[in-house]
Amino acid sequence: AKDPVRVLVTGAAGQIGYALVPMIARGVMLGPDQPVILHMLDIPPAAESLNGVKMELVDAAFPLLKGVVATTDVVEACTGVNIAVMVGGFPRKEGMERKDVMSKNVSIYKSQASALEKHAAANCKVLVVANPANTNALILKEYAPSIPEKNISALTRLDHNRALGQISERLNVQVSDVKNVIIWGNHSSTQYPDVNHATVNTPAGEKPVRELVSDDAWLNGEFISTVQQRGAAIIKARKLSSALSAASAACDHIRDWVLGTPQGTFVSMGVYSDGSYNVPAGLIYSFPVTTSNGEWKIVQGLSIDEFSRKKLDLTAEELSEEKTLAYSCLS
Ligand code: NAX
């Protein structure tokens, strides 16, 4: 039998946490033969609720779940973890300035970065979900200098999956037959969902999405805005933000990172930019990546037309501004 993998979920008493921890305990994230030990962190006001989640995990009698650590102590939470999914953060409340929210999250990510750096297992992989996800990941990278930048990522897989879903609905095909959409940039409304390299598996072979959806106006307009605004649409409908889809995307992100992407398939991950596609180096930016042996690689050589170029640059500008704002909060 395999040794258990320790998976940290911060903000585990929250909405996404509640959807995510049972998925992890069922093997959705790391596979049906991989035992796990869950580490759950939240803040003291949520301690009782966190304990309730722990009770339910016990009650679910998950065969793969070999232990649960539920704590409000950051050091205890981070100790020995192999994977860290950072869902906890400070939400923007009505009337709050962007800078105030940023400064709260900067201080959270700064201290959790130090705890991870000192106490996590060697080669721990980190996924930041909490918003502003890309910039929180950048702060974490900054304050955990001994964690290699290749081990720090931000979640844009939900946006990626939303794009797959929209194409599948439009063409009335199985979502599993659609692949290679790309989310470029920030997990925000400036993200660019790009179908220029996406394909659909049909009985007649693999066909470009651009060929099957002949309506360019839809692909260049409504498709993009629907994906960009999907989070807001969920809030409007549910009066709560996306949770099950976010949890599922976090599992997809880690599963592909650890177990590898299928041949010929790429996925979107927020990763540290090396200047590929003329995206400024030093931002956490969502790129198309393939993964193998636990490492991601940015897909190179995709053609970028003028329409796309503008959109890649626009979302990079927003990330540069967020970076400046975040650094101005560090004192
Ligand atoms: P909730 O407010 O339900 O849960 C957040 C939890 O984090 C709470 O239990 C809170 O007590 C805890 N928390 C706050 N500060 C903490 C700290 N310093 N350490 C540990 N825990 C802390 O929010 P939820 O709906 O679960 O969303 C969580 C985060 O995910 C939010 O920042 C949200 O904006 C972000 N999202 C990111 C997405 C993405 O694709 N990257 C999509 C979904 C989601 O909107």
pLDDT digits (tens, 9 = 90+) for 301-314: 999 999 999 999 99
Q: Can you tell me which residue has the tokens 């309730």?
A: 52
Instruction: List the catalytic residues.
Output: 187
Atom of ligand 1 at shortest range from CA of 111:
18
pTM of the model: 0.98
pLDDT for residue 172? 97
Calpha distance 219→221 (Å, rounded): 6
Instruction: Name all residues whose Cβ lies below 6 A of ligand 1.
Output: 10-11, 13-17, 41-43, 46, 87-91, 108, 129-131, 133, 155, 158, 187, 241-243, 246
Average pLDDT, the chain: 97
Atom of ligand 1 at shortest range from CA of 240:
25
Cα 211 to averaged position of ligand 1 atoms, centre (Å): 39
> Which residues touch 317 (CB under 8 Å, ≥6 apart)?
none
Average pLDDT over residues 86-95: 87
Calpha distance 323→106 (Å, rounded): 11
pLDDT for residue 131? 94
Angle, vertex CA 127, rays to CA 125 and CA 131, nearest 5 = 155
Q: Can you tell me which residue has the tokens 């992989």?
A: 125
pLDDT of 145 > 80? The answer is yes
Candidates 174, 162, 163, 222; CA nearest to 200 is: 174
Contact 8, 41 (CB under 8 A): yes
Atom of ligand 1 at shortest range from CA of 154:
41
Look at residue 231 and give its three-state secondary structure.
helix
Average pLDDT over residues 156-167: 98
Q: What does the DSSP assignment read for 104-129?
A: HHHHHHHHHHHHHHHHSPTT-EEEE-
Mutation probe of ligand 1 site: the residue of 110, 114, 241 with most atoms within 8 A of C-beta: 241
Element (H, E) at 222: none
- pLDDT > 70 in the chain, percent: 100
pLDDT for residue 331? 65
Distances (CA, A) of 317 to 18, 58, 300: 34, 46, 21
Cα 208 to averaged position of ligand 1 atoms, centre (Å): 36
pLDDT of 279 > 90? The answer is yes
Candidates 225, 218, 223; CA nearest to 166 is: 223
pLDDT for residue 1? 85
Please compute Rg for the chain using Cα positions: 19
Number of continuous H segments (helices) and E segments (strands) in the chain? 12, 14
pLDDT single digits (tens) 192-208 = 999 999 999 999 999 99
User: How many residues does this entry show for the chain?
Assistant: 331
pLDDT for residue 93? 79
Taken in order 208, 210, 215, 219, the sign of the CA dihedral is positive
pLDDT single digits (tens) 217-272 = 999 999 999 999 999 999 999 999 999 999 999 999 999 999 999 999 999 999 99
pLDDT single digits (tens) 162-185 = 999 999 999 999 999 999 999 999
Calpha distance 201→255 (Å, rounded): 22
Q: What's the maximum distance between 2 C-alpha atoms anywhere in the chain? A: 59
pLDDT single digits (tens) 1-54 = 899 999 999 999 999 999 999 999 999 999 999 999 999 999 999 999 999 999
**Rama region for 9: left / alpha / beta (φ>0; ψ in -120 to 50; rest):** beta
